[in-house]
Amino acid sequence: MVKTKAVMIGAGLANMAAAVYLIQEAHWQGSQITFYGADLHGANDGGPTADFTDEYWNQAHPMANTTGYVARGGRMLNYRTYVDLMDLLDRIPSVTESGMTAAEDTHDFDAHHRTFDKARLLQGGKGIIDGGKLGLNNKDRVLLSKLVLMPDDEETKLDNVSIAAYFKDDPHIFQTNFWYMWETTFAFRVQSSAQELRRYMHQMIYEFTQIEHLVGVNRTRYNQFESIMLPLIKYLEGEGVTFLDNRIVTDWEFADSELQDEITVTGLHVKNLETDTEDLVPIDDETAVIFTNGSITDSATMGDYNTPAPENMDYGISAALWKKATERFYNLGTPDKFFNDRKSSEWVSFTLTTKNHLLLNEITRITTQVPGNALNSFLSTTPITPLGHKDVNMSIVVHHQPHFTTQKPNESVIWGYFLYPRRTGEFVHKQYIKMTGKEMAQELIGQLSKVDPGPNNIKTKEPEILDSIVNNIPVYMPYASALFNNRAKTDRPEVIPAHSTNLAFTGEFAEQPYQMIFTEQSAVRSGEMAAYHFAGISMDHLVETPRYDKDPKTLMRATKKMFS
């Protein structure tokens, strides 16, 4: 199984991690590694909007207004659990801080800008909610404890069990501060996988004691592209790795074998998006194929200040290739579980750029905290869920400024998202998915006004704030939460599937023991596993994953917090 070359399908974090480990641990030359991808960042993007107008996923609906900045999502790190990510970043130099590795850059920034959210939950008519009071009752505590204490070998009991089904006799939990904070920190929905919730409860159990302040959250100096992806790209380019972007692998060639379940890739059909031509790339016996088999930003589209993000009904391009492999082999998972249920996976996010700090200063005044400390959520005061429960309307992240290296001193950038984009706004009476960037800004101002009573509240400054906005970019992502979709354990393929001779799966849709997904941690670890396998390096050399769910002191602190 040891190989001497690798073809990477997808140029996101997982495959770039695999390339770094092949170079540094297996001592490969960069020239032995070739990437095919529609872009060079995957879901870890961020930059001026003008840089995104030629992206594959936005070609059909280019933005009319290309000023300001955009990031489809944001990344919160956690040093205690993201051990593989930090190991990776410590292997490459920062591109913004001279003399530092990318890990040292992040540690240095975080040490000077610690997260301490004083306004984690905001509710109309009540203002800042005391999130330290989790609001759990005894039934909530019992069911949560069962998740935490469930052994790994019993996890399949939660196959195809949603969070709503797990708590079917306990709807109270969905009205607790604990749920509002957990839901918006990690982007779980009630229809998400209880199996995935269990993994988060295991790996992030210590967050029970500090979730209301997010003190366990660490952040990069700038957006995730400039602080994580660009250092990887520059390092790999310097090592001679070949990057072929604007390329999509559309189909496979597999070897015929007497062993019908043996998986050997012999060729890849590669489409060049620039020339609209397709070639067959042969794969020889010495080449590994490392495939990121799904992306949460596939089929994403962007709007602008005056235009909603259009709805793109395309099946994800990477998932479509995964699906073709599953039609040939039985043990490679079930892509439709993740990419054929948009009601469970879609988001709308927005990135708002202003030409002065009026909005930023108003948010600072309302939340009583400086930029960079918070992820704020706004609670509804009226029933909007099918069960008649109040729920979170929207969440915003106010980054430390500047969030982009090219951002001007007078500019502010704020990011936010709607976890349930088909709901209707309270101040703009449209579904969030149908709002323009301006309308999302108006909804944000309205939501903030609910927690800002008095004659001089933020609503009185709405004309000035709207005038200060350079752009507000809505982004529709049909698969943003797809990795949380309700599923069985076998619906994701193993990183190294049984009987595979040269194909590995990486990213958030590959199954790994214990790891929780939707994190840079699991993406990096999958790439590390694939690299070690094809380099003939023992998995004993993988970075050791801490098990806080087995630490008595952590469990005792979490138990005490449950009763707060």
pLDDT at 428 over 50: yes
Angle, CA 317 vertex, CA 316 and CA 323 arms, to 5°:
80
The pLDDT of residue 220 is 92
3-class DSSP assignment, residue 540: helix
**What residue ranges do the domains of the chain occupy?**
5-55+69-108+222-340+485-541, 121-219+344-477
Q: 437-451, 501-515, 549-563: which range is least confident on average?
A: 549-563
The pLDDT of residue 54 is 52
Q: What percent of the chain has pLDDT over 90?
A: 71
pLDDT at 14 over 60: yes
The pLDDT of residue 384 is 53
pLDDT at 503 over 80: yes
Mean pLDDT confidence for 437-447: 96
Q: 10-19, 197-206, 477-486: which range is least confident on average?
A: 197-206
Taking each helix axis as running N to C, give the angle between helix 138-149 and helix 552-562, from 0 to 180 degrees, rounded to the nearest 10: 160
3-class DSSP assignment, residue 163: helix
pLDDT at 347 over 70: yes
pLDDT at 177 over 70: yes
- Where does the pLDDT of residue 383 fall: very low under 50, low under 70, confident under 90, or very high at 90 and above? very low
Please answer whether residues 372 and 425 qualify as being in contact, where contact means their C-beta atoms are separated by less than 8 angstroms.
no
Mean pLDDT confidence for 350-356: 97
Mean pLDDT confidence for 155-175: 96
- Where does the pLDDT of residue 385 fall: very low under 50, low under 70, confident under 90, or very high at 90 and above? low
The pLDDT of residue 53 is 62
Report the distance separating Cα 387 and Cα 141, nearest Å: 21
Phi, psi angle pair for 15, to nearest 5°: -75, -30
Task: For residue 490, count CB atoms less than 10 angstroms from its CB and return exposed for 0-12, middle for 13-18, buried for 19 or more.
Answer: middle
Does the structural domain 121-219+344-477 have CATH classification 3.90.10.10?
Answer: no
Of 550 and 69, the one with more pLDDT: 69
Mean pLDDT for all residues in the chain = 91
Fold matches, 5-55+69-108+222-340+485-541 and 121-219+344-477: no
Report the distance separating Cα 353 and Cα 360, nearest Å: 10
- Where does the pLDDT of residue 64 fall: very low under 50, low under 70, confident under 90, or very high at 90 and above? low
The pLDDT of residue 185 is 84
pLDDT, one tens digit per residue, over 136-154 is: 999 999 999 999 889 999 9
The pLDDT of residue 504 is 98
Please answer whether residues 367 and 376 qualify as being in contact, where contact means their C-beta atoms are separated by less than 8 angstroms.
yes
Residues, the chain, total? 564
Set 21, 36, 69, 200: catalytic member: 200
69 given a catalytic annotation: no
The pLDDT of residue 374 is 66
- Where does the pLDDT of residue 57 fall: very low under 50, low under 70, confident under 90, or very high at 90 and above? very low
pLDDT, one tens digit per residue, over 253-293 is: 999 977 778 999 999 999 999 999 999 999 999 999 999 99
Report the distance separating Cα 248 and Cα 321, nearest Å: 9
The pLDDT of residue 56 is 47
Task: Give start and end residues of each alpha helix (H) in 190-272.
Answer: 194-203, 224, 230-238
Radius of gyration of the CA atoms of the chain, in A: 23
Report the distance separating Cα 442 and Cα 428, nearest Å: 7
Of 402 and 385, the one with more pLDDT: 402
Q: 18-27, 321-330, 355-364, 554-563: which range is least confident on average?
A: 554-563
Mean pLDDT confidence for 41-50: 86
Return the CATH architecture of domain 5-55+69-108+222-340+485-541: 3-Layer(bba) Sandwich (3.50)
Q: What percent of the chain has pLDDT over 70?
A: 96
- Where does the pLDDT of residue 332 fall: very low under 50, low under 70, confident under 90, or very high at 90 and above? very high
The pLDDT of residue 392 is 86
Report the distance separating Cα 477 and Cα 421, nearest Å: 10
pLDDT, one tens digit per residue, over 386-401 is: 555 678 889 999 999 9
